């Protein structure tokens, strides 16, 4: 079996032998997440009503983030610690070499892209996002099942390669080569509206590439060659390893990371605290409007 490392389509997923794949449902509603680490939000309720057969559930808040660390200035969705994420993979019964496929709803595969990136951070490359998400599976007439899925736990011990994949507050300000790419919608980037964070605007010098521009009207990603041309046009003379992605809390930025990798533009990194982490320090500068040029 040829392992998928960015995207996988419905037919390719349906053809996989169940024992050879770990499927993870990442559906999550940012406006109805549940109020605590293990409270059930809309995404988990939707999962229990119907999901791809064999899929386990991943909560953005409880499994793919550590909300207890928000007070450290790490943004609204701080990254989980290595041990905690290892325990999540253990609970899912992951074993090395297994193809992982993650998916969510039609809102752009945002939480699924976050899981994809976290797994790469942990050195796991055999992970792909289902192109078009759960709606693509359902619209293709594929089987679904209800209830919870429990897999036999296995011992897992992961380590994050932070230096290769993550940029923190200090290195963001001290790297003259980097170019920031902000995945938020244009009005939020420009500071015209800000529905979540206390301050609107963007990091001075950051460019804007809304993650929605990676998608076709049906919710699937644009072809790799199209994405490559669009990102190269947006980045100008900057090479992929110079790019640092950000968004509101480090989730939608992973969508741009995934799109670039799918387009063959490898080596970009994530400013994980993103805008919510940047504005946690009132002394950091804020820009509004469009960047010149």
pLDDT (tens digit per residue) in 103-124: 998 666 799 999 999 999 999 9
In a domain, 229, yes or no: yes
Residue 35 has pLDDT above 70, yes or no: no
Would you state the structure tokens that stand for residue 108, as one six-digit string? Answer: 């752009």
Read off the pLDDT of each residue in 127-146 and give the average, rounded to a whole number.
Answer: 96
The one catalytic residue among 26, 102, 247, 254: 247
In a domain, 255, yes or no: yes
Give the pLDDT band of residue 180 (cuts 50, 70, 90): very high
Q: Are residues 80 and 27 in the same domain?
A: yes
Q: Are residues 186 and 134 in the same domain?
A: no
Cα gap 35→40, rounded to integer Å: 8
Residue 60 has pLDDT above 90, yes or no: yes
Q: Is the dihedral of CA 73, 78, 79, 83 positive or negative?
A: positive
Which residue range is the domain that position 185 belongs to?
163-278
Residue 291 has pLDDT above 80, yes or no: yes
Cα gap 239→256, rounded to integer Å: 15
Give the pLDDT band of residue 176 (cuts 50, 70, 90): confident
pLDDT at 2: 81
Q: What percent of the chain has pLDDT over 90?
A: 81
pLDDT at 36: 44
- Contacts of 59 by beta carbon, 8 Å cutoff, 6+ apart: 28, 34, 38, 41, 43, 44
In a domain, 78, yes or no: yes
Residue 32 has pLDDT above 60, yes or no: no
- Is 102 part of the annotated catalytic residue set? no
Give the pLDDT band of residue 38 (cuts 50, 70, 90): very low
Q: Are residues 117 and 185 in the same domain?
A: no
Read off the pLDDT of each residue in 234-249 and give the average, rounded to a whole number.
Answer: 94
Q: Are residues 137 and 213 in the same domain?
A: no
pLDDT at 1: 63
Closest Cα partner for 91 from 13, 148, 137?
A: 148
Q: Are residues 73 and 210 in the same domain?
A: no
Q: Which of 105, 129, 160 is the last residue of a domain?
A: 160
Q: Which of 160, 188, 212 is the last residue of a domain?
A: 160
Q: Are residues 132 and 238 in the same domain?
A: no
CB atoms within 10 A of CB 225: 10
**How many domains would you assign to the chain?**
2
Residue 271 has pLDDT above 50, yes or no: yes
Q: Are residues 168 and 207 in the same domain?
A: yes
pLDDT at 173: 78
Give the pLDDT band of residue 37 (cuts 50, 70, 90): very low
Read off the pLDDT of each residue in 82-88 and give the average, rounded to a whole number.
Answer: 98
Would you state the structure tokens that stand for residue 95, as one six-digit string? Answer: 């074993």
In a domain, 288, yes or no: no
Read off the pLDDT of each residue in 116-134 and give the average, rounded to a whole number.
Answer: 97
Residue 292 has pLDDT above 80, yes or no: no
Q: Are residues 43 and 131 in the same domain?
A: yes
221 or 164, higher pLDDT? 221
Q: Are residues 138 and 15 in the same domain?
A: yes
Q: Which of 136, 160, 184 is the last residue of a domain?
A: 160
In a domain, 175, yes or no: yes
Would you state the structure tokens that stand for residue 291, as one six-digit string? Answer: 């960047």
- Contacts of 211 by beta carbon, 8 Å cutoff, 6+ apart: 108, 110, 183, 247, 252, 253, 255, 256, 259
Q: Are residues 143 and 244 in the same domain?
A: no
- Calculate the average pLDDT of the chain: 92
Q: Are residues 45 and 178 in the same domain?
A: no
Cα gap 183→247, rounded to integer Å: 5
């Amino acid at each position: 079996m040829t392992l998928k490392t960015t995207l996988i389509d419905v037919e390719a997923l349906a053809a996989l032998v169940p024992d050879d794949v770990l499927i993870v449902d990442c559906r999550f509603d940012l406006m109805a997440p549940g109020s605590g680490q293990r409270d059930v939000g809309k995404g988990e309720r939707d999962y229990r009503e119907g999901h791809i057969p064999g899929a386990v559930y991943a909560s953005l808040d409880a499994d793919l983030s550590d909300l207890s660390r928000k007070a450290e200035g790490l943004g609204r969705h701080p990254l989980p610690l290595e041990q905690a994420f290892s325990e999540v993979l253990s609970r899912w019964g992951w074993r090395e070499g297994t193809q992982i496929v993650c998916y969510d709803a039609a809102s752009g595969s945002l939480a699924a892209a976050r899981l994809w990136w976290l797994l790469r951070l942990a050195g796991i490359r055999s992970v792909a996002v289902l192109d078009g998400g759960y709606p693509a599976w359902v619209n293709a007439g594929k089987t679904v099942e209800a209830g919870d899925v429990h897999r036999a736990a296995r011992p897992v011990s992961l380590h994050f390669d932070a230096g290769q994949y993550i940029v923190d507050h200090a290195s963001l300000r001290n790297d003259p080569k980097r170019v920031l790419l902000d995945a938020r919608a244009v009005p939020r980037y420009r500071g015209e509206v800000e529905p979540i964070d206390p301050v609107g605007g963007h990091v001075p010098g950051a460019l804007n590439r809304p993650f929605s521009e990676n998608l076709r009207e049906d919710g699937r990603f644009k072809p790799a060659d199209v994405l490559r041309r669009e990102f190269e046009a947006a980045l100008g003379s900057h090479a992929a390893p110079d790019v640092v992605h950000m968004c509101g809390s480090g989730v939608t930025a992973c969508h741009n990371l995934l799109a670039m990798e799918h387009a063959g533009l490898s080596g970009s990194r994530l400013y994980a605290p993103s805008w919510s982490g940047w504005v946690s320090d009132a002394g950091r500068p804020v820009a509004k409007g469009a960047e010149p040029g």
